[in-house]
Structure 1
């Protein structure tokens, strides 16, 4: 196996070297042409401040990716953007293909359990997506994706304490369009994408898009033969735009996604305490004592009304509803025995209403409005300890009601100076019902197992919180191509109730935990240099956290003790740089680097074994937050090749050592680098396009997540007792191996 891997890597190096030589020759020839005129970097428009403006005019650290950017590199879903954004983690979370783990500058959501709030807000066309289930959005029929770093508490508000991701779908233009795209590739990849739109009348446009994405597994469940890490997903979207007058438009949208991919099995890092089996040969192989059935369904509907009142004032209403359902089976210990199995069902629904009032004049712009959110999230899961003959079942519901009043205005003091002030008042109300029962035997959710053996928890809790989150920034434009800004932002993430609470182990677990608060100070600049042939944007940031929420789980004699902590204090500081350079007319380089120093200053942790509150800040580190992340890439265009234009892209993305949980463990990942390259050919007619995409060129093996319920060990690392359910459960989940895909598309 090692010899084959080595030979493949050497082959990849040889191919890359040959391609680099070809590119160098072509660039040299291009530069020798005295009549060559180097292009300026194109203007990028974003809506980071709820109005359309150049990314170079926005005093916010924001990265934007157009549909063409993502098409050229063959981007599959939003998690692949992690490689191109500094200080950002976007990953698939453990046991399913569709659940998102998102962190920006050290802030995110480790635990995707219902009732917990994300730290990074995900928005689909201005509609907030409250739950991480189904939030791994596929890239299709999309206009652009924007990622805003740092608290966005004024304009985006709810749970954007780390930042926000905006997924902007393709706009309806009334043009008659139809595009077909098919892809085949490694592991029997078979993808189909169809999108189109037309005008039914002068003022009524409709559009639709559909995608079926399929792939065999990277590995298998060796004891059952089922695929592991496979993909079986369909998604669709329908839009309609009605413009009864020049000043009024109404847009309707509906989207639905169904993921029938198998639940994912983890790779055991240690020998089983029960079976004595050593780790398997491939990190994509696993074993299971459960069915691999898995279903994740999400759908949403929205109605957006835009009304231009006059030359200065406009009004916008965004009404939306979303719901999701997950039914999954996760074998935590990844053996053939039912030692530590977790079947789970999640359900959620939400309704949101936002009213915006916008004002714009020669020297003043304002956005303000009201926001309402109503949501219910329910679930039930079992911790099946087959070796002990018991099942611990957790379940309950949490209802959330949130209202906010927000406003932000920018006043141009002079041609060079402008001042932005804003604020958001938020009030959250939560009511939760939580139960935790212990049953004899193996019990799945909704099974009738009679009366429980033990009632660990059965309580209701309610709490409400309110917060005013201010924002202030000053912007100085030194010249038309250089802007500096300094800002202060306050972020607010709602409190809640631990839906895993075990009152029998920790009596305080039924008490609601407090909101998380952050104060962030940022200094940045945005520059267009070399007569518009180079763009360089940078930011320095410092964040002061109070009551930072951290979810921890510990295996104890009676099961798993869960606790949501409000860490007393934490600080995060660092910097980010992003650049693009148009070296010649047809060759450009792009790159980014992020550095973050995140530390817990104090953490009050209740130890269920000692029944004491301990300060463990010297033992903890931030999860999913590598100190350094960097990316370098290129785009090289070859015009007039075979009646079309060829575009060659490539990038290398680096992430330093990453700790998976707050406490160090065997799951922590060493530094790694991923390389990708693509060739895209576009016909001169604009009808045909062909793409060849190679991802993870050197077949790097890298771990993204895992479960850590390790058996007790001595100072030398020797196991000195039985782990949870009698097993030493340390299992990892991994990113995709090297894949090659061929895509052919046609536009009518």
Structure 2
């Protein structure tokens, strides 16, 4: 019977909101073979094994085992995800050596991700990340809202190093693939998981797989989660770190013909959380511009400690933040011939992230506040046009659409290929309006004369001032409109001359980017005071404007860039279970604009520190480029009881994008293509079955990263001011997995895990502050004890698990900053010891 391919014409006629796709999407198996095993059955196979398991991945857009995939990667199947307690992207940093994940200072749901030292120091809607995140093949373009738990997560793949040829732009550091469980046509099954843990943490995950007909199945899954933070807010509002999340997901699979598949997915997530509060460690002793006038008072209203405190306080009511996302995904596959298939991948996603942060001193002071809450002081009334300025939660929002068409197949029994075309567009922005409070403080008497000397015209006005103060206000609106298109291909040839042991793979990708941005911004600083007039007592007076910034009024910027990203891989099978490879890979990160730049352009005058840097927001910065050579070995020995994988790499940076603070300011930065850098290192992945059921494993990463050249405006090489951040020299994960008892009633399994991350540098402003943002090396001990395969009925089983994280209750900072007005070092602490009980019921 002739095949029908009318779906292609149908897709091309769909509305824009439904013609969806994704860059770097993963392959899917068009027609399912044997149904997947019940999760308990899969776990049992792993527990009883006397050899190492084989993990299948789709890292190179084809189904292959990790051992057959010639790149450095970490793969986590459902069993390993459960053992290590991985719920989402935020949990990967401690479990993947060479990968660092930190929360953004202003939003704990926004993640800064680094692999092999390659990442970003800021999170702006006009700047792209360096590590690509993919959810079921759908590229997540923004870093905001990534710290989410995922319902029904089945597999995670972390690809190290540049992935430009297959995954496209913004993969200079690597890529992360998150894959959820697909619907099965085989039979009805369900899973219910309940968790109760420390700090009133409870979690419920539910999944139903329902075959409706012989060729149609749906899967419904949901998540409810509640957790209290570990630092109490003794001031007004919520506690730091509290979070509430719910998520729902619908998946459908339809097989209208033997060779055709239609997969659709809808997901919706809502996270309400209270941001972490930065705890002061070291008082500020370095210049901070305007902040120097109130530094003594700010420090008197702040708390400092080198250990994690159980209580801190805010002056204004501490407000919740909210991150909400939804997505549609459509995948159509058709086997045109025995060795030729066509696939269309589409996606639409929407994100809204409302962020409330408090950067005050943690002592509950209302005289010194750094937040965006309402303010009714004299300056607030003046800035608000006669009424106090309102509470404002700055918002990041984004809509993205993408489409991809792939043609893949095999020619002459020796050449596999994939050809594709890709299109992506997004619109979004950052909104921080109307005019709202940023900080207010009283002036220390010792600093009042210093301020009056700087502004002599205010001396007479403030002659009789009592409790003079400063206040600042913002109002901003940032918009983006970006498009990206690409043509790509990958060709893998296995010549017969080497007994089919040699495999050559060539990847090519040509990309075109068009980026537009618009910025409106105004900042105004006020002096406010109470005057003691003769016979009048203390009389409030309106505030006086101290200064204002150059106003950005719908300033527009645009740029167009193109990039060619080739890759070449040579793989040789040394033996039946040993393969060596060498690869050359390239990637680029899109150019963009810096919304925190106080200069409009190079012709608009000096920046906020009085220096004319010769460029500003309008000029933006061009793409950065990375190229890397990797040499690796993947091997298994002793009848698959011993595994040893090794990868070494050398990476070169060109036109590296760098954000640096403007001295004497709190939030003003400049962004430029700083220069060149080099990185080299090695990664080891080893595992050994000591005896049936007892497995030890070790993953280790070594990294040496150095910026070689950064030329400043005076022609000096200031590379020492640009160290690689979040690039620990050493990191490792060591594990012991022991199935120590199996009988008809249960399978008992113990898991012990040690995670170590070495010293790493933080964001540096000046040489004398280099060590203030550094994170010392630390190690965490985690454990899990599980009894699985407990029979409930003939078709259902129960698993009971006890787990503990950070069992030694190690105190360690997740991230640090050095630019708060009251502190040269302030940190967000990592999670203390947590203990939990988990029940999982499976029915099939």
TM-score (structure 2 length as normaliser) = 0.78
2:290 is matched with which residue? Answer: none
Aligned partners of 1:95, 1:687: CA distance in 2, in Å?
44
2:517 is matched with which residue? Answer: 432
Q: Secondary structure at the match of 1:72?
A: helix
1:693 is matched with which residue? Answer: 803
- In structure 2, relative to structure 1, the CA distance for the partners of 1:363 and 1:659 (3 Å cut) is same
Aligned partners of 1:523, 1:440: CA distance in 2, in Å?
56
1:195 is matched with which residue? Answer: 207
Aligned partners of 2:149, 2:327: CA distance in 1, in Å?
15
2:23 is matched with which residue? Answer: none
- In structure 2, relative to structure 1, the CA distance for the partners of 1:476 and 1:358 (3 Å cut) is same
- In structure 2, relative to structure 1, the CA distance for the partners of 1:456 and 1:641 (3 Å cut) is farther
1:479 is matched with which residue? Answer: 575
**Which of 261, 277, 285 matches 1:265?**
277
Deviation at 1:315, TM superposition (A): 1.1
**Which of 747, 751, 754 matches 1:649?**
751
**Which of 755, 766, 772 matches 1:666?**
772
Question: Which consecutive residues of structure 2, in runs of 5 or more, have no partner in the other structure?
Answer: 1-47, 284-294, 373-392, 442-469, 528-544, 600-605, 608-612
**Which of 704, 712, 730 matches 1:628?**
730
Q: Give yes or no for the alignment of 1:373 onto 2:455.
A: no
Question: Which consecutive residues of structure 1, in runs of 5 or more, have no partner in the other structure?
Answer: 1-36, 443-449, 607-611, 711-722
Aligned partners of 2:657, 2:708: CA distance in 1, in Å?
14
8 Å Cα contact 2:148/2:271 also seen in 1: no
1:356 is matched with which residue? Answer: 406
Deviation at 1:431, TM superposition (A): 0.8
Residue by residue over 1:466-501, the C-alpha shift from the partner in whole angstroms, topping out at 9 and shown as x without a partner, is 011000011110111110000101111110111122
- In structure 2, relative to structure 1, the CA distance for the partners of 1:589 and 1:406 (3 Å cut) is same
Aligned partners of 2:314, 2:176: CA distance in 1, in Å?
35
Aligned partners of 1:439, 1:590: CA distance in 2, in Å?
57
- In structure 2, relative to structure 1, the CA distance for the partners of 1:151 and 1:570 (3 Å cut) is same
Deviation at 1:88, TM superposition (A): 0.9
Aligned partners of 2:771, 2:519: CA distance in 1, in Å?
30
**Which of 159, 170, 191 matches 2:181?**
170
Q: Secondary structure at the match of 1:99?
A: strand
Aligned partners of 2:715, 2:222: CA distance in 1, in Å?
53
Aligned partners of 2:99, 2:643: CA distance in 1, in Å?
21
2:481 is matched with which residue? Answer: 399
Aligned partners of 1:96, 1:210: CA distance in 2, in Å?
25
8 Å Cα contact 1:565/1:604 also seen in 2: no
Deviation at 1:293, TM superposition (A): 1.9
- In structure 2, relative to structure 1, the CA distance for the partners of 1:254 and 1:479 (3 Å cut) is same
* Alignment map for 1:235-274 (pairs within 5 Å): 235-271=247-283, 273-274=296-297
Aligned partners of 1:191, 1:52: CA distance in 2, in Å?
33
Aligned partners of 2:320, 2:695: CA distance in 1, in Å?
46
* Alignment map for 1:311-330 (pairs within 5 Å): 311-330=338-357
Bigger-Rg structure (1/2): 2
Deviation at 1:261, TM superposition (A): 1.2
Deviation at 1:735, TM superposition (A): 1.5
2:440 is matched with which residue? Answer: 386
2:536 is matched with which residue? Answer: none
Aligned partners of 1:576, 1:218: CA distance in 2, in Å?
34
Aligned partners of 2:92, 2:643: CA distance in 1, in Å?
20
Aligned partners of 1:294, 1:389: CA distance in 2, in Å?
24
Aligned partners of 1:274, 1:455: CA distance in 2, in Å?
28
Deviation at 1:394, TM superposition (A): 3.8
8 Å Cα contact 1:301/1:322 also seen in 2: yes
1:418 is matched with which residue? Answer: 503
- In structure 2, relative to structure 1, the CA distance for the partners of 1:284 and 1:360 (3 Å cut) is farther
Aligned partners of 2:729, 2:597: CA distance in 1, in Å?
32
8 Å Cα contact 1:247/1:308 also seen in 2: yes
Q: Give yes or no for the alignment of 1:746 onto 2:773.
A: no
**Which of 556, 567, 579 matches 2:664?**
556
Q: Secondary structure at the match of 2:621?
A: coil
Q: Give yes or no for the alignment of 1:499 onto 2:549.
A: no
Deviation at 1:417, TM superposition (A): 0.8
1:524 is matched with which residue? Answer: 632
1:150 is matched with which residue? Answer: 161
**Which of 530, 535, 539 matches 2:643?**
535
Which stretch has the larger CA shift, 325-334 or 276-285? 276-285
Aligned partners of 2:245, 2:786: CA distance in 1, in Å?
25
**Which of 44, 52, 74 matches 2:55?**
44
2:674 is matched with which residue? Answer: 567
Q: Secondary structure at the match of 1:509?
A: coil
Aligned partners of 1:476, 1:43: CA distance in 2, in Å?
20
Aligned partners of 1:89, 1:129: CA distance in 2, in Å?
18
1:706 is matched with which residue? Answer: 816
Aligned partners of 1:501, 1:243: CA distance in 2, in Å?
53
- In structure 2, relative to structure 1, the CA distance for the partners of 1:527 and 1:110 (3 Å cut) is same
TM-score (structure 1 length as normaliser) = 0.88
Deviation at 1:365, TM superposition (A): 1.3
8 Å Cα contact 2:279/2:303 also seen in 1: no
Deviation at 1:453, TM superposition (A): 4.8
- In structure 2, relative to structure 1, the CA distance for the partners of 1:161 and 1:438 (3 Å cut) is same
Deviation at 1:655, TM superposition (A): 1.1
Deviation at 1:650, TM superposition (A): 0.9
Q: Secondary structure at the match of 2:593?
A: coil
Q: Secondary structure at the match of 2:79?
A: helix
Deviation at 1:582, TM superposition (A): 1.1
- In structure 2, relative to structure 1, the CA distance for the partners of 1:743 and 1:97 (3 Å cut) is farther
Aligned partners of 1:333, 1:157: CA distance in 2, in Å?
41
Deviation at 1:740, TM superposition (A): 0.2
Which stretch has the larger CA shift, 559-568 or 49-58? 559-568
**Which of 801, 811, 831 matches 1:736?**
831
Q: Secondary structure at the match of 1:171?
A: coil
8 Å Cα contact 2:764/2:773 also seen in 1: no
Deviation at 1:555, TM superposition (A): 4.6
